[in-house]
Amino acid sequence: MTQKQTAMGRHLVAQAFLFILSCGYLTGCAAAELEPITYQEAVTQYQEGGGIENYRCALVPADEQYQALDDAQPIAVELDEVLFVKIAGTVHELQQTDIDATRTAYAYEGMSATLTTVSQFNHSEYNESDDRHVNLTFESAGKTDTYKTFGAACGL
């Protein structure tokens, strides 16, 4: 194999890897894709609706071991009982419909999301916040995608 063929092979592997990352480790890339959303976008919309933030958690895409991807931006932000996601440039507020020790469900206008906490660690001194590994399952237009995510300092 020549040096040029080796470089081209590496380029193709890198392109394939970027495609996989762009899908956010989805089970299928066909559903409405969650776009990056900033904490500021979510909290501004929340406060404009009269909300006063107590609990918060920004979830960023992660690899198979739940390590945040380099330079990853949040794809979902939890503020109290609301989950904010962005699709096609529009921020959507999904309202909490169910909660238990490891699972929280949200829904709004044909969209639903379930956050399943896989693990919690790095608890704050008074257990007010922690880091966590979360599976985010998002349903829209009859399609379901699951993202592995990492949440840092989730809590008060």
List the CATH number of the domain containing 126.
2.40.128
Is position 2 within any domain?
no
Under 8 Å between Cβ of 47 and 84: no
Which pLDDT does position 127 carry in this prediction? 86
Is position 124 within any domain?
yes
Is position 42 within any domain?
yes
- Span 8-62, pLDDT tens digits: 444 333 343 334 444 444 444 445 689 999 999 999 999 998 888 889 999 999 9
Is position 47 within any domain?
yes
Sign of CA dihedral 62, 66, 70, 74: positive
Is position 12 within any domain?
no
Which pLDDT does position 52 carry in this prediction? 82
- Span 59-98, pLDDT tens digits: 999 999 999 999 999 999 999 999 999 999 999 999 999 9
Find where tokens 């904490």 sit. Answer: 39
Which pLDDT does position 32 carry in this prediction? 67
Dihedral (C-alpha) 9, 15, 19, 24: value to the nearest 10 degrees?
100
Which pLDDT does position 15 carry in this prediction? 41
What is the model's pTM?
Answer: 0.77
Range of the domain at 40: 25-155
